[in-house]
Structure 1
Amino acid sequence: MFKRAMTKFYELTPIKLGCEVRGINLQSESRPEVIQQIKKDVTNHRILVFKDQGVISGKRHVEISQWFGELESTFYKHPKSPHPDVFRVSNDSREGCTGVGRTGWHIDGSFQQEPFCYSLYHIVSVPREGNTVFAPLTELIESLDDEKRTRWERLWMCSDRRTGPVHPLIYPHPITGKKVLCFHLGMTSDYIWDRGTPEERVATEKEFNAITEEIHNEFVKDNGKIQYSHKWQEGDFIISDNLAVGHEASPQTQLSRELVGLRVMHRTTVKGTNRPKK
């Protein structure tokens, strides 16, 4: 891991996964050369946590997201969402969509033909508890023993057995070429073995349950050693390479407003441009 470093435009400090970024104001930044540096650093570090950004408006959140491509909004629109392309989540149904992010480890948009390229998160109201937890997909794959990795390489995931796309579980990231996962442990209807070969078959229910548990266990083994649990602070704005990191909301995100205070988070997702391929 590199030490704290200065680009021409801001300071990067390494954290367990990704970097904290200071010395830049996302409220007003628009220089093309700075945007290019941010995009490069997101690819290199996978997660950038921009600190001390205040409260970024929905309109500005969307503008920042558009640096990375066209937005794609596939979620429920809460009446208090500040923009049609901003997903507003909360621990109070009057303030945002509740029960979000607790269906299992996942990337965003695995149900799309081209999963989302980037996810951008901004905390608007910070509770006393309620972390978002991330994990690096390439390192997880590289840590598998040979037998397990060989089995995973044979698997394809289906988000809906009737109409959803079918994606390889392991595939090369479209920019870096590093191996990553296309997965959602709470939104997978089937796994397929050896797709496109004479041995192709749908996993049995017993196999399905075992595969899902096996993937989950890789994220939580050794007391979640591979995880980075982000404790939100006022003014945090995160840009993540959605295809390179898995994530899940911690159980504490579901605690009531009365117990931990109001939680409000805004999220946007950038439309994918590449279908996962072997």
Structure 2
Amino acid sequence: MKLHALSRVPERGVFSHVGYHIVRVAENGGGTIFAHQGGAFDALPEAEQERWQRLVSVNSNSGVLHPVVHEHPISGRKSVYLHLGMTGAVLEVTPPANDPKGIEKLRLLEQDEMRHLFQSYNALLNKGFATGAADLLGGAPRYGALVELQNLNSKPELNGQQGVVVGVLDRTNGRVAVELMEGQDPANPVKRPRMAVKPENLKEGDCIFIDNLAVAHRASPEAHKPSTEVGLRILHRTTIRAPQNFDPPYGLPPVLNVLGPNPLGGGGVWQGGGLGFRWDETIPMQN
């Protein structure tokens, strides 16, 4: 399944925030799942972090360029930003050794490189949703894991108690937020899906707000089934334009003619229109 952030096709300034107002909840599934893109960047191997920061995506319909990795304008956290459904090309920049913001070499990724990039990103995000899979945040215990509190100096009376991980506070040192069991059965701890907004957890009139520069989203598997099976889901989506343009680094132009010929005149993927480069033909393309 794909995850993606939202972008307004003609605009250099993407949505900074998105609000969802629930009008009708599907009776038999069809929810939305979210993943933190800062966590995705943190989970990359160091070599991939370095390379992904030199990649720039090209929207397959508008030709707008966006950095694959950016610093969040509020938190400053490095986060991935890659649309797996409407990307027609990815540029790789190699800067000169004495000028990290300059361009010594510019090339388009080839098909195999594109597939590797998209499949790596998709698999990385999906780890957070699979039952029993490792969490995105490196050595920290995964969400929903049963842990025993140890070495608490501020509240030593809690040492030895068990709890369920409900948040990650410090990836490097493995510090997590824990909800104490308090009477729950340790053999059957409460399962906490990773940031999953399911229909059974919603009611008409509910609102959900997300930071589009920090959070990717995808439809749950049920959402791809016919409405005759899962029911009808209706929501109003309100988008807020970011106060600043989300332009690429290295002095690259904000827009290229993606419907025209390859601007570099060589090899690599340059695919304009529609869903762009299809890195996996089997994946349903639906929000």
Aligned pair partner of 2:46 in 146, 152, 157: 146
Q: Once the 2 structures are TM-superposed, how far is the Cα of residue 139 of structure 1 from its aligned partner?
A: 1.4
The residue aligned with 1:217 is 123
Cα distance in 2, alignment partners of residues 247 and 110 from structure 1: 15
Aligned pair partner of 1:134 in 26, 34, 39: 34
- From the CA coordinates, give the structure whose radius of gyration is larger: 2
RMSD between aligned residues:
2.1
- Give the TM-score taking structure 2 as reference length: 0.56
Q: Once the 2 structures are TM-superposed, how far is the Cα of residue 256 of structure 1 from its aligned partner?
A: 2.6
Q: How many residues align?
A: 175
Paired AA for residue 201 in structure 1: R
The residue aligned with 2:163 is none
Go from structure 1 to structure 2 and tell me whether the alpha carbon gap of 1:110 and 1:201 turns closer, same or farther (over 3 Å shift).
farther
Cα distance in 2, alignment partners of residues 204 and 258 from structure 1: 41
Paired AA for residue 206 in structure 1: D
Q: Once the 2 structures are TM-superposed, how far is the Cα of residue 192 of structure 1 from its aligned partner?
A: 0.5
Q: Is the 1:110–1:159 contact (alpha carbons within 8 Å) kept by the matching residues of 2?
A: no
Cα distance in 2, alignment partners of residues 144 and 170 from structure 1: 12
The residue aligned with 2:223 is 253
Cα distance in 2, alignment partners of residues 201 and 247 from structure 1: 29
More moved, 239-248 vs 262-271: 262-271
Q: Once the 2 structures are TM-superposed, how far is the Cα of residue 247 of structure 1 from its aligned partner?
A: 0.5
Structure-to-structure mapping, 1:60-209, within 5 angstroms: 104-109=2-7, 111=9, 112-127=11-26, 128-160=28-60, 163-194=62-93, 196-209=102-115
Go from structure 1 to structure 2 and tell me whether the alpha carbon gap of 1:151 and 1:110 turns closer, same or farther (over 3 Å shift).
farther
Q: Once the 2 structures are TM-superposed, how far is the Cα of residue 239 of structure 1 from its aligned partner?
A: 0.9
Go from structure 1 to structure 2 and tell me whether the alpha carbon gap of 1:142 and 1:177 turns closer, same or farther (over 3 Å shift).
same
Go from structure 1 to structure 2 and tell me whether the alpha carbon gap of 1:110 and 1:217 turns closer, same or farther (over 3 Å shift).
farther
The residue aligned with 2:238 is 268
SS at match of 1:121: strand
The residue aligned with 1:231 is 198
The residue aligned with 2:258 is none
Identity between Structure 1 and Structure 2 (%): 31
Q: Once the 2 structures are TM-superposed, how far is the Cα of residue 156 of structure 1 from its aligned partner?
A: 0.8
Q: Once the 2 structures are TM-superposed, how far is the Cα of residue 110 of structure 1 from its aligned partner?
A: 6.4
Cα distance in 1, alignment partners of residues 195 and 82 from structure 2: 19
Cα distance in 1, alignment partners of residues 245 and 210 from structure 2: 19
Cα distance in 2, alignment partners of residues 214 and 122 from structure 1: 32
Q: Which runs of 5+ in 1 are unaligned?
A: 1-101
Cα distance in 1, alignment partners of residues 235 and 218 from structure 2: 14
The residue aligned with 2:155 is none
Cα distance in 2, alignment partners of residues 216 and 260 from structure 1: 25
Cα distance in 1, alignment partners of residues 49 and 8 from structure 2: 20
Cα distance in 1, alignment partners of residues 244 and 221 from structure 2: 32
Q: Is the 2:72–2:79 contact (alpha carbons within 8 Å) kept by the matching residues of 1?
A: yes
- Structure with the greater relative contact order (CA < 8 A, sep ≥ 6): 1 or 2? 2
Q: Once the 2 structures are TM-superposed, how far is the Cα of residue 194 of structure 1 from its aligned partner?
A: 0.8
Cα distance in 1, alignment partners of residues 243 and 64 from structure 2: 15
Cα distance in 1, alignment partners of residues 81 and 43 from structure 2: 17
